[in-house]
Amino acid sequence: MIAYLALLRVPQWMALSKTQRRFVWRHYVHPLLTRLSVMITKTVLLLLFIIAAYWFGAFGSLTLSIATTIATVFLIPELLDLWLVTRHRQDIEAYIQSHGSEIQSV
């Protein structure tokens, strides 16, 4: 979860306990990353990456096939999640501030 690392630069996130971070992740960040539009974007990017890799001959040998598969399955979705969390960092900060009492009760 590379996206989790982007939140380490948010001071409000660092002030939360482990349980409170899990609460914020479960109630705000995870739904942000699992919206239908995000899932469709991930699928389209994966398909485009596979087509481009095949077109450039990345499936010509076993080593290249393994590297391409790992990059396709793990790297592309994680980078998209990282970009989304980085882009919505202010929204996450605002959520933590606006739901402060609810988060503190956890």
Distances (CA, A) of 27 to 59, 69, 73: 40, 31, 26
The answer to whether residue 95 is domain-embedded is no
- Per-residue pLDDT of 51-62, as tens digits, reads 988 898 888 888
Please give the Cα distance from 2 to 82 (Å, whole number).
6
Q: Which domain holds residue 77?
A: 32-88
Cα–Cα dist 31/34, whole Å: 5
For 30, the token pair is: 């995870």
% the chain with pLDDT above 90: 55
Model-level pTM?
A: 0.82
Does any domain span residue 58? yes
User: What per-residue confidence (pLDDT) applies to 3?
Assistant: 84
Structure confidence by residue, pLDDT tens digits, 13-58: 999 999 999 999 999 999 999 999 999 999 999 999 989 888 988 8
For residue 15, the SS3 value is: coil
Quote the number of domains for the chain: 1
